[in-house]
Amino acid sequence: MRENRLLILTVVVLALGAFIWFWERHQPTTEEAQKQAELVLPGLEKADVVRITIVKGTKRFELVKEDGEWRLEKPVAYPADGQAVDLLLSALKSLKIERRLDAGEVSLADWGLEKPEFTVTLAGSGGRTWTLKVGQEEPLGNNRAVTLDGTAVLLCPKWFVSDLDKDLDGWRSHEVVKLFEDQLASLEVSTPDDRVKVVRDGGLWKLLEPVRDLADRDQIRNLVSALNGLRVKAFVDDEHPDLAALGLDHPRYRVELVRTEGKAPVTLEFGAKRELEGVKQVVCRRNGTEILWVTDGAETPLGKAPILWRSKVVYPFDTWDVERMTLAAGDARTELVHADGSWTCSGHEADSSAVFDRLSRLARLEAENFDLVEPGTTEIGSITLTIKPGLAAEEKTGKPVEVTWTFFEPMKPGGRALVRVTGRDTIMSVDAAKARGLLADLDGLCAPPATPTPVAAKQPEPAGETASDG
């Protein structure tokens, strides 16, 4: 009997322990519960809110969160200003009760809550909803009356209304496009006379039009950055806008951005320009429907001549992505390996600053001419880099890529050296002195770093003696 009793007690203790562990540990502490009781909307978490409805008189705004992004559903379908939504939710989440007036103490009509100025309804992902009615301000005070249940009146700081009281343009996003370079699969810019098309190939940008070659990655980055920086200054909501007057019947530029994640492409068409209140603006039609007056920050990169989209850099790479460098010139050959932040050569540490200097010069090397004849002159030497997955590697396989620069003597004395590089179907010319400098002193490049000479400590003067003029 005793053993049975002991067994039952053991089970009860274990069950009690499990209850405390799995349930009570998730309950709020007394301090947390007190803080929640002070809030107008206890339990509200911004991340859980998926729909917001705001009613002010005859105006009604409905916002919904889709795939982590806020969109307006009413009165128009349009991307919402995520920052404005976040500020509103932050203000509501932290809104505190300064004073509570129960139903017996006051009437809703006395505080403008029978016909509230605002009604805000928040819907959470778990099905919970909050409906907040906003009435009058407290006379000679900083509080505003609100109610949740239609009985008690809660007085709370009135400042949250500034995040609530917005017109349509206040809830609409003023961003024109929000895309990063690595989210793009291709980009096309066309004018009435020309077209430029680039596609992403692994970690590189390839130019397909007007010529097939490596694209200027800085030009692409500058354009993407400029498009991301555009801001809407005015929305054109006319049902039948005059496209000719806006310059959109024959746009000056048309940009198509194809995204990697398979979403619909973004198209931007740019037309007429104007200056309003000292701000230069250009009209933009997005995705064939939305017409906006936006800042003109993309005019410079869009206006670059198509042929200048071709990469002048012989082959762009980032020096920190290089894992191995092999240089050969005549009978000399040097191989350096990068690991754990340092460079080694033949098993000993090399002068990393000298190696990075050589790599930096190679990364900046620019072509002066393109599409030259196959070189028939003597080879000066070659440089082969093994580059880890990143800019120049095939991202699909995640394997490093080998890129080789092969340099040839100029066709005539004093002329430019010729170069062929992996990944570009063109022979280019470069400054001959720069080409030779990249292949010079291979033994010195492999030498270990110089040991700094210690500076002799200055001997203190004997006590009591001072320097004299003699």
Choose one of 309, 338, 367: the last residue of a domain.
Answer: 309
467 part of a folded domain: no
Provide the H-helix boundaries in 48-145: 82-93
Rounded distance between C-alpha atoms, residue 431 and residue 451, angstroms:
34
Residues 386 and 367 in one domain: yes
CB neighbours of 220 closer than 8 A, spacing ≥ 6? 181, 187, 198, 205
- Predicted TM-score (pTM) of the model is 0.77
Residues 55 and 114 in one domain: yes
Rounded distance between C-alpha atoms, residue 106 and residue 149, angstroms:
14
HEC secondary structure over 260-299: CCCCCCEEEEEEEEEEECCEEEEEEEECCCEEEEEECCCH
pLDDT recorded at residue 16: 56
Residues 244 and 303 in one domain: yes
29 part of a folded domain: no
DSSP-derived 3-state class of residue 15: helix
Tally of domains in the chain: 3
Residues 428 and 327 in one domain: yes
457 part of a folded domain: no
Residues 167 and 42 in one domain: yes
Residues 279 and 381 in one domain: no
For residue 230, CA distances in Å to 81, 190, 256, 373, 466 come to 14, 19, 16, 43, 70
Choose one of 267, 282, 309: the last residue of a domain.
Answer: 309
Burial 59-70 (b: 16+ CB within 10 A, else e): eebbbbbeeeeb
DSSP-derived 3-state class of residue 21: helix
314 part of a folded domain: no
Residues 142 and 119 in one domain: yes
Per-residue pLDDT of the chain (470 residues), as tens digits, is 556 666 566 655 565 555 545 545 445 566 666 676 789 898 889 999 999 999 999 999 999 999 889 999 999 999 999 999 999 999 999 999 999 988 777 888 889 998 999 999 999 988 899 999 999 998 888 999 999 988 889 999 999 999 999 999 999 999 999 988 888 999 999 999 999 999 998 778 999 999 999 999 999 999 999 999 999 999 999 889 999 999 999 999 999 999 987 788 999 999 999 999 888 999 999 999 999 999 999 999 999 999 999 999 999 999 999 999 999 999 999 999 998 889 999 889 999 999 999 999 999 999 999 999 999 999 999 999 999 875 443 444 568 899 999 999 999 999 999 999 999 999 999 999 999 999 999 988 988 887 665 655 555 655 554 444 43
Provide the H-helix boundaries in 53-118: 82-93
> Which CATH number is 442's domain given?
2.60.40
Residues 262 and 364 in one domain: no
pLDDT recorded at residue 465: 46
pLDDT recorded at residue 393: 39
User: Nearest 5°: CA angle at 257, between 256 and 263?
Assistant: 120
30 part of a folded domain: no
453 part of a folded domain: no
Could you tell me if 255 and 187 are in contact, meaning their C-beta atoms sit under 8 angstroms apart?
Answer: yes
**Counting every residue, how long is the chain?**
470
Residues 144 and 230 in one domain: no
Choose one of 309, 342, 364: the last residue of a domain.
Answer: 309
372 part of a folded domain: yes
Residues 140 and 206 in one domain: no
If we measure between CA atoms, which residue out of 230, 232, 228, 225 comes closest to residue 291? 232
Domain that holds residue 158: 37-171
Specify the amino acid at residue 428: M
In this structure, what token pair is assigned to residue 348? 């000993």
Rounded distance between C-alpha atoms, residue 78 and residue 289, angstroms:
11
Could you tell me if 186 and 197 are in contact, meaning their C-beta atoms sit under 8 angstroms apart?
Answer: yes
Residues 202 and 305 in one domain: yes
469 part of a folded domain: no
Sheet holding 184-190, edge to edge: 213-214, 204-209, 195-201, 184-190, 253-259, 266-276, 279-286, 290-295, 232-236
Burial 321-340 (b: 16+ CB within 10 A, else e): bbebbbbbbeeeebebbbee
Residues 213 and 290 in one domain: yes
For residue 115, CA distances in Å to 2, 52, 133, 344, 395 come to 71, 20, 9, 78, 60
